[in-house]
Amino acid sequence: MTESIVEKKSEAIQENIDQEIKYRIRPRRYFNFDAEEKEWELEIHLPGVEKSEIKLRILPNLYDLKAYRDEVIYSLTQYFPWDIETDSVKTDYKNGLLIVSGKIRDRMTDAVPIKLE
């Protein structure tokens, strides 16, 4: 009995969310990198979005962004062209412009030297 109440409640919540969001937009974004300095920068345009309405998740090879404004959801999920150092990620958000930057992970960092015989 409790299970069906929970299912109905979660269905109602999902229905409300779907009704509130009328537009799904892929935001404009620019990706810059410096291979010599091993740094990258991602610029994402989110006009009219409050900082508290931005959800950003990052893995070493992937990022996922969701941002909400009125009846609009900005949604963007993409792979990085190489692995990044997630500990180095920094963000700055001003006037609808999100800047995310960090370091490119050196793939040879964890390499094990092999002695030739």
Strands of 54-59's sheet, edge to edge? 23-25, 72-79, 62-69, 54-59
Comparing 1 with 107, the larger pLDDT belongs to 107
State pLDDT tens for residues 16-50. Answer: 555 577 889 999 999 999 988 999 999 999 999 99
In this predicted model, which residue has the larger pLDDT, 20 or 61?
61
pLDDT tens, position by position, 70-112? 899 999 999 998 899 999 999 999 999 999 999 999 888 888 8
Taking residues 3-10, what's their average pLDDT? 56
Domains of the chain from N-terminus onward: 20-104 (2.60.40.790)
Mean pLDDT of 111-116: 90
For range 61-76, the mean pLDDT: 94
DSSP states of 19-61: HH--EEE---EEEEEETTTTEEEEEEE-TT--GGGEEEEEETT
Whether 56 and 29 have beta carbons less than 8 Å apart is answered as no
In which residue are the tokens 């960092």 written?
A: 109
| Helix, strand, or coil (residue 7) | helix
Which residue has better confidence, 99 or 4? 99
Report which of residues 96 and 6 the model is more confident about.
Answer: 96
Q: Which two tokens stand for residue 5?
A: 């109440």
Residue 3 has pLDDT above 90, yes or no: no
